[in-house]
C-alpha cells in the first residue's frame, strides 16, 4: 500500500507539528485543566496511529483483518469528532483554537479522507479473502517504512505524555 504509506507520513508529520507548535509551545495544553477532556482524545490517538504506522506499510489485511483495519480507522474518525467537539470549550480561556491550528486540522482531515479512500482502493480486494494478516513488501520505499516505524514509538510517547497530564490535571483542585 504505497499511497496510504505516503499519506500516513504526511498525516504523521502534520500531527507532530500540531502537537509541538500548538499543543505544547503555543497553548501548553498539558498545564491547562480545561483541556483535560481534549487530552483524553489525544492519548487515544497515539496507539491508533502507532498501529497504523506499523501495520499499513508492512502487512496485507485480508478477511476479518481488513475489517479490523476499517474499525481502527472508524475509531480514529470518532476520536477526531470528539476532539473537534471538545476543543472550543477546552481552549476558550486560551483565546480559542489558533487559526493556524484550525488550518492544520483541515489539512489533516483532508489527508485522513484520502487515506481512507486509498486504503479502501488498495486493500479493499482483501475484504472478501480468507482471514490472514501477512507481512508484505508493500512497494513503499524502505526509508519511508523506516520513518513510520520510528514515528510509532514517538506517537506512543506523546500519548503517554497526554495520559500523564490527564491524571495530573485530574488531581488538581479546581
Q: Does an H or E element contain 151, and which?
A: helix 142-171
pTM to 2 decimal places: 0.92
User: What are the pLDDT digits (tens) for 34-49?
Assistant: 999 999 999 999 999 9
Q: Does an H or E element contain 162, and which?
A: helix 142-171
Q: How far apart are CA 72 and CA 52, in angstroms?
A: 8
- Domains held by the chain: number: 1
Residue 41 structural domain: 2-153+162-171
Q: In the prediction, which pLDDT does 143 show?
A: 96
Q: How far apart are CA 143 and CA 145, in angstroms?
A: 5
70-75 contact pairs (CB < 8 A, 24+)? 72/48, 73/115, 73/116, 73/119, 75/48
Going by pLDDT thresholds of 50, 70 and 90, the confidence category of residue 173 is low
User: What are the pLDDT digits (tens) for 67-119?
Assistant: 999 999 999 999 999 999 999 999 999 999 999 999 999 999 999 999 999 99
Q: How far apart are CA 83 and CA 107, in angstroms?
A: 15
CA distances from 131 to 4, 58, 63, 66, 124 (A): 21, 17, 4, 8, 13
Q: How far apart are CA 141 and CA 6, in angstroms?
A: 10
Amino acid at each position: 500500500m504505497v499511497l496510504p504509506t505516503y499519506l500516513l507520513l504526511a498525516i504523521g508529520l502534520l500531527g507532530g507539528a500540531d502537537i509541538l507548535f500548538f499543543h505544547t509551545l503555543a497553548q501548553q495544553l498539558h498545564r491547562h485543566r480545561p483541556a483535560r477532556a481534549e487530552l483524553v482524545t489525544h492519548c487515544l490517538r497515539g496507539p491508533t496511529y502507532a498501529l497504523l504506522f506499523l501495520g499499513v506499510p508492512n502487512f496485507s489485511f485480508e478477511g476479518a483483518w481488513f475489517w479490523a483495519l476499517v474499525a481502527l480507522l472508524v475509531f480514529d474518525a470518532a476520536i477526531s469528532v470528539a476532539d473537534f467537539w471538545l476543543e472550543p470549550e477546552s481552549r476558550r480561556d486560551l483565546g480559542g483554537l489558533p487559526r493556524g491550528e484550525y488550518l492544520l486540522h483541515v489539512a489533516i482531515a483532508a489527508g485522513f479522507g484520502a487515506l481512507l479512500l486509498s486504503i479502501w482502493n488498495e486493500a479493499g480486494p482483501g475484504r472478501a479473502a480468507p482471514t490472514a494478516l501477512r507481512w508484505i513488501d508493500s512497494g513503499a520505499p524502505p526509508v519511508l517504512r523506516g520513518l513510520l516505524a520510528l514515528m510509532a514509538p514517538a506517537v506512543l510517547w506523546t500519548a503517554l505524555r497526554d495520559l500523564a497530564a490527564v491524571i495530573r490535571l485530574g488531581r488538581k483542585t479546581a
